Homo-oligomer: A and B are copies of this chain.
Amino acid sequence: MTARTHIRDAALALFAERGFDAVTVRQIAAAAGVSAGLVVHHFGSKQGLREVVDEYVSSIVDELLAALEADPAAALAADGAQLSGGLGELLIGFLPAGSAVPAYLRRLLLSGDTAGRTVFRRWYDASAAMLARLTEAGFMRASADPPVRAAFMLINDLAVVLLRDHLTDVLGVDPLGPDGLRRWSVEVAAAYTRGVFTTEA
Known interface pairs A141-B197, A159-B158, A186-B145. Does A169 touch B117 (Cβ–Cβ under 8 Å)? Answer: yes
How many residues of chain A are within 8 Å of chain B by beta carbon? 62
In the complex, A41 has a CB within 8 A of chain B:
no
Are the CB atoms of A200 and B138 closer together than 8 Å? yes
Are the CB atoms of B198 and A191 closer together than 8 Å? no
Q: Give the chain B neighbours of A116 by CB distance below 8 A.
A: 166
Q: Give the chain B neighbours of A69 by CB distance below 8 A.
A: none
Are the CB atoms of B141 and A196 closer together than 8 Å? yes
One of A31-39, A49-57, A59-67, A106-114 at the interface: A106-114
CA distance A35 to B124 in the complex (A): 45
- Choose one: B162, B170, B196; the contact of A159 (CB below 8 Å): B162
One of A2-10, A90-98, A148-156 at the interface: A148-156
- Choose one: B149, B155, B199; the contact of A191 (CB below 8 Å): B149
Q: Give the chain B neighbours of A195 by CB distance below 8 A.
A: 141, 191-195
8 contacts across the A-B interface (CB closer than 8 A):
A109-B163, A110-B110, A117-B169, A120-B163, A145-B187, A148-B175, A151-B167, A193-B197
Seed contacts A80-B197, A143-B187; 14 additional CB < 8 Å A-B pairs:
A84-B197, A109-B163, A120-B169, A121-B166, A140-B198, A149-B196, A152-B156, A153-B196, A155-B162, A156-B159, A159-B159, A192-B196, A192-B197, A194-B195
